Amino acid sequence: MFLAVAVRFLTPHQSPVHASLTIIRQEHRALSAMLRAIHLMLGEHRRRGTLPDFGMLRAMLFYVDEFPERLHHAKESRLLFPMLRSRSAERTAVLNRLDQDHAQGEQFIRKLEHELLAFEVMAETPQGEERRGRFERSMTAYMHFYLNHMRTEESMVLPMAERVLGDQDWSELDAAFLQNRDPLAGDEGDAVYADVFRRITEAQPTLLGLGSALEALAGRATARSV
């Protein structure tokens, strides 16, 4: 579970655990698990020669679009990254590239949604295999794109934040990231999304048995890099 308060000190000699950093890492694990789940599901259906559950794929892409793209990334680009730029020039080029990734990701998800629709509509036609392959290749490229993006944030940006941000910065960041919590990262989330996310998490074990990825989707995974 996420921290119930903005900051908790472990001992007088240890660094504080900030709610915003915990939430960022937890949401990264949820997104990583979702992307890997889609990738594994597509691979399993291809191996079996069957069509995937298109409704489930749409729900999973909806999650990626709704939370990581529109909420999680927006808080990073509009709040965290500008704070870091104002405190240090240490990672300016990295932050600029990550901002570009966020903008590119929004375009990428629109392309994926279109290609999924094309795959579904054309699945039983002579173009079915071509459309399937196009969606699978784009989905794989998107997965690797964002796994690399999140690794960069966790290895370079978050450690920098711990070094250069002050108490007021953390208070503002923690307040922002404690809003719009991600249901797939272990929080109850907004009630309006409850049915969508329950459908995703309940269906996953019957699809593939994804082990640790499912634990991350349910918010039970232990802290580890994406």
Residues in the chain, how many? Answer: 226
Q: How do strand 7-8 and strand 17-18 relate by DSSP bridges?
A: antiparallel
Averaged over successive runs of 10 residues, the pLDDT of the chain (226 residues) comes to 31 63 87 87 93 90 78 85 92 94 89 97 97 97 94 96 95 86 51 63 54 46 43
CB atoms within 10 A of CB 158: 17
Which phi and psi angles does 36 have, rounded to 5°?
-65, -35
**CA dist., res. 225 & res. 191, Å (int):** 29
Ranges of H-type helices in the chain = 19-48, 54-64, 73-75, 81-87, 92-122, 128-152, 158-164, 167-177, 194-207, 212-217
User: DSSP assignment, residue 153?
Assistant: I
Q: Are 1 and 17 in contact (CB under 8 A)?
A: no
Residue 82 · residue 98 · CB < 8 Å: no
What are the structure tokens assigned to 30, written together? 């949820």
Q: What is the DSSP letter of 183?
A: G
What are the C-alpha distances in Å from 5 to residues 8, 178, 187, 220? 7, 9, 14, 19
Q: Model pTM?
A: 0.78
Distances from the Cα of 49 to the Cαs of 115, 129, 132, 137, 138, in angstroms?
Answer: 19, 11, 12, 17, 19
The angle at the Cα of 22, spanning 82 to 181, to the nearest 5 degrees, equals 85
Q: What distance in Å separates the CA atoms of residue 175 and residue 6, rounded to the nearest whole number?
A: 7
The pLDDT of residue 193 = 58
For residue 164, the model assigns a pLDDT of: 95
**Dist. CA 94–CA 156, nearest whole Å:** 8
- Report pLDDT for 212: 45
Burial of 103 (0-12, 13-18, 19+ CB in 10 A): exposed
